[in-house]
Amino acid sequence: MPVHPIEFRYSYPEMYSIFTEESKLQSWLDVEVALAWAHSEVGSFSREIAEEIEKKANIRLVKVERVKEIEEKLTKHDLLAMVYALQEVCEKEAGGYIHLGATSYDIEDTALALQLKKALNLIEADLKELLHEFIIKAETHRTTVCIGRTHGQHALPMTYGMKFALWASEISRHLDRLAEIKKRVLVGKMNGAIGTMASFGEKGFEIQRITMERLGLEPVLISNQIIQRDRHAELLCLLALIAGTLDKVSLEFRNLQRTEIAEISELIRSPSSTMPQKLNPSNTERICGLARIIRGSVNASLDTIALEHERDISNSSMERINIPEDFILTDYILKQLTKISQGLSFDYDNIEKNLHMTYGLILTERIMLELTNKGIGRQKAHELMRRLALKSWNEKRHLKDIIEQDDDAMKLITKDELEVWLNPHTYIGTSIEQVDKVVSYLKKRL
């Protein structure tokens, strides 16, 4: 029976399949095949031997169950068990040339890069899909004026288009980071037990080059027994950054669905088991929770940078858990947030109601600046509006009424000016222009 919720709840099949035992085994076999061809090309053995190894190096013949059996009964080493299992199915002398000159992590680290290549391509596609959705929402709501909040308090008017444009811009930066990180992560090695290539002799550089060319990877510049773990730590930091953005957006969606705000709503919400009236934003809450798991793995990954001498195995157990888990969960929450965004509904009546909730006080900055333009000085204008704002709030009366009844204020302001200045829809600055600028720039990325 499954134990981890990834196996039955928090995953999508395409990403999950990349990290199955079968997929991992096939990646190992693919590297062994590439190594065999490299040996044949430099003259270590015949082309026929490489052909036989390639013919048999697939999980239809080299089965996970048999590899596990050999590991348990004989090798106590999973990679070596794979070598024995492949040797069993190869004919004639071919089996004796499998894994020639390689150390385990020549195979494992290079195979991991093959898995990461597929996984990063999926994450890239996920990011682009979410970016596309945010761009659509930014365009659709470029003129949807709403209240902006700082410190949880009503601040100034803005547009929903700005919110989505801001998030879209952040997603685009993750795409930049992903493109950059591929250069450092999608690398392989074939240089023996501690990196000296002694087991390959003078053919070492050529064997490594040919092997990586066949696999579509770049060879490392230098390594010891393993590819250095700063690369993998950076990778998990990227996934943590992506999760952080999804957490931020989901938290905003959750807050905007609060009963006392109720400006947006998820298409699908969960009912309460006991309170019939309740519908909970459980989908966005789930994203926030899973983002914590992804971020939480970063420290463990950073710890694996410092291994003893030319390597120890303390990175292995952590990576067997964290790398698949982080990719599967990141893929899951990216797809989830895209679906949530696509189904998001907006309550325009509540959006407008919230704009006017604080008796016009969200326009005090505007009035202060207009008064400053009239020459009374910024500090004096601030002091006047501060006094009137407190009176409005304490008496629960609209700022317009308070100002119109204040002699000092009405010496400086006309009723017509006040009518204009207290319209939140006309105090959004360059919100629309900023959205248009972002959308125009980001559409080029899709």
The residues assigned a catalytic role are 151, 272
Q: Could you give the CA distance from residue 63 to residue 86 in angstroms, rounded to a whole number? A: 9
Torsion, Cα of 142, 262, 148, 352 (10° steps): 70
Residue located via tokens 């000296």? 196
Q: Is 241 exposed, middle or buried (0-12, 13-18, 19+ CB in 10 A)?
A: middle
Between the two ends of the chain, the Cα-to-Cα distance in Å is 41
* Token pair belonging to 417: 């000016």
Half-sphere exposure of 378 (CA within 13 A, CB side): 3
CB 347 within 8 A of CB 262: yes
Q: Could you give the CA distance from residue 30 to residue 201 in angstroms, rounded to a whole number? A: 23
Q: Could you give the CA distance from residue 265 to residue 256 in angstroms, rounded to a whole number? A: 8
CB 110 within 8 A of CB 158: no
Give Cβ neighbours of residue 406 (< 8 Å, ≥ 6 apart).
388
* Token pair belonging to 275: 């309170």
CB 350 within 8 A of CB 343: no
